[in-house]
């Protein structure tokens, strides 16, 4: 798992819970019309509709999926309440209506979730200090080679210093050393400084050192704002369920009762017709029995 993955996992398992989707229709208020401080957003709908960190295109997809689900649920309820339809038809049409929309709703939610995760990753990358004109990825093959060489140099240095520490090798401040080298890269600047920074990140990953610990005290206020933005976007992405949505239990129970009722009515009608035929009842008269041979002789 890369550094960003570790960061997100740490946040998800920490102080920030991951609420599941609230099973109710989407809010009719605040559809992107106003924004609020994220610290004030305590519900699913508030985060979706008012967070200033959710990109506008993602918000539209997210809201559209939730509105579509709310609309379909209402249509299913109206269909069940339609007195002009027999129970069997109600149950069948209700299932068909929801199944025809469920996959589309799930796909829109998956897209919104994926886009939020991408935005979170981009914000996290922006939270890592780099020298102006340099990035977190090498620009070409020669830069990649320089990054690899810098990482190897750092790993050798750490190994040599640990070996000279004898029985105190485990006490060598690896994280502090990497942090010092990171700061040196920022101060050096240019192509060389960029290779030092990327080399530190590579060495940290290979040694299993959390880059968050290396960057502790290195980030400025603007970088910490991106950390918060990344954390919030990852949290919002985790709010969105990727599962195909289901109808509320009450609605599913109503459909099931309709299906059972139509089945029972059919069974009762069939049983009545069978018993009527057995006892000679019903609208169709039974055939008159032909007289026997003995009765014919008596009448003569």
pLDDT of 194 reads: 92
Mean per-residue pLDDT over the chain, rounded: 77
* Its pTM surpasses 0.85: no
Asked if the model's pLDDT at residue 67 lies above 80, the reply is: yes
CA distance 100 to 95: 8
Q: Which residues of 105-140 are buried (b: 16+ CB within 10 A; e: fewer)?
A: bbebbbbbbebbbebbbebbebbbbbbeebeeebee
pLDDT tens track for 82-116? 888 888 888 888 888 888 888 899 999 999 999 99
Question: How confident is residue 11, by pLDDT bands cut at 50, 70 and 90?
Answer: very low
Could you tell me what percentage of the chain is helix, strand and coil, using 3-state DSSP and rounding each to the nearest 5?
A: 70, 0, 30
d(CA 71, CA 62): 14
More confident residue, 5 or 188: 188
Give the pLDDT confidence score for residue 260 in this predicted structure.
Answer: 78
At 206-253, the pLDDT tens digits run 999 999 999 999 999 999 999 999 999 999 999 998 887 787 788 788
What confidence score (pLDDT) does residue 206 get?
A: 93
Q: Count of residues for the chain?
A: 300
Residues 74-78, mean pLDDT to the nearest whole number: 86
Q: What is the pLDDT of residue 205?
A: 94
| Confidence at 22, pLDDT banded by 50, 70, 90 | very low
């Amino acid at each position: 798992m890369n550094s960003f993955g570790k960061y997100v996992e740490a946040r998800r398992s920490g102080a920030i819970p991951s609420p599941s989707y609230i099973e109710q229709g989407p809010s009719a208020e605040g559809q992107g019309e106003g924004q609020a401080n994220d610290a004030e957003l305590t519900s699913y709908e508030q985060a979706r509709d008012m967070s200033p960190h959710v990109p506008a295109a993602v918000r539209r997809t997210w809201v559209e999926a939730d509105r579509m689900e709310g609309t379909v649920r209402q249509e299913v309820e109206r269909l069940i309440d339609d007195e002009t339809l027999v129970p069997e038809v109600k149950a069948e049409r209700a299932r068909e209506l929801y199944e025809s929309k469920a996959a589309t709703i799930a796909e829109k939610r998956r897209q919104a979730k994926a886009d939020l995760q991408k935005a979170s990753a981009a914000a996290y990358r922006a939270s890592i200090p780099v020298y102006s004109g340099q990035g977190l990825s090498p620009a070409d093959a020669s830069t990649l080679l320089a990054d690899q060489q810098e990482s190897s140099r750092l790993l050798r240095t750490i190994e040599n210093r640990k070996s000279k520490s004898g029985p105190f090798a485990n006490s060598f401040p690896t994280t502090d050393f990497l942090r010092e080298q990171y700061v040196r890269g920022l101060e050096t600047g240019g192509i060389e400084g960029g290779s030092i920074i990327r080399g530190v990140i590579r060495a940290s990953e290979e040694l299993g050192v959390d880059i968050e610990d290396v960057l502790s005290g290195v980030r400025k206020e603007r970088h910490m704002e991106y950390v918060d933005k990344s954390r919030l976007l990852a949290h919002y992405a985790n709010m969105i369920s990727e599962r195909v949505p289901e109808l509320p239990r009450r609605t599913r129970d109503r459909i099931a009762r309709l299906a059972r009722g139509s089945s029972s009515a059919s069974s009762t009608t069939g049983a009545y017709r069978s018993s009527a035929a057995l006892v000679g009842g019903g609208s169709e008269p039974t055939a008159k029995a032909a007289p026997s041979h003995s009765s014919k002789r008596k009448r003569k």
